A = this chain, B = another copy of it.
Amino acid sequence: MMENIIFRNFLGGKGLKLTKERTAVLSEVYSFHGHFEPEYLYSRIKGSGSKASRASVYRTLSLLVECGLVKRVTRTDKGNIYEHTYGHSHHDHMICDICGEIIEFFSEKLEKLQDEICEKNSFIGSSHALEIRGRCKKCRM
């Protein structure tokens, strides 16, 4: 698993340690696809063989975001939503206001547009997130 190596290198480079708990969180994150909330992740970990406290789950999640293996997709009224990123190229999201479904898409034009907009505003863009809200195929009237 490439993501383990990435994580180990990241930790090593910062003088941090690869613990059972961190390994458990990482492998749980990569054990399923799609988006997740921290509490959901925590409940999955409790249910799995391994274990990690809530504090460790949150702490590890921050590290995973920092090293780029996990990304915060958006915030709902409830809290953060994440996704793992290794093996997934950059994309943006459409979120259905009715059923909450999250649809991913990628647009080359959008990538170019970001550069254009940044240049025009003397801004050094490092990332963007486009979130389109509306109704998905199933929920349109």
Contact = CB atoms under 8 A, between A and B. Distances in A.
Interface of A: 75, 94, 96-97, 103, 105, 107, 109-110, 113-114, 116-118, 120-137, 140
A123 B77 CA distance: 23
Q: Identify which of A96, A116, A117, A140 gathers the most chain B CB atoms within 10 Å of its CB.
A: A117
A83 to B, nearest CB: 16
Contact of A124 (B125, B127, B140): B140
Contacts of A134: 118, 123-127
Number of copies: 2
A61 to B, nearest CB: 13
Given A94-B123, A105-B120, 17 more contacts: A94-B118, A103-B121, A109-B109, A109-B113, A110-B110, A113-B113, A118-B132, A118-B134, A123-B132, A123-B137, A125-B134, A126-B133, A126-B134, A127-B132, A127-B133, A128-B132, A128-B133
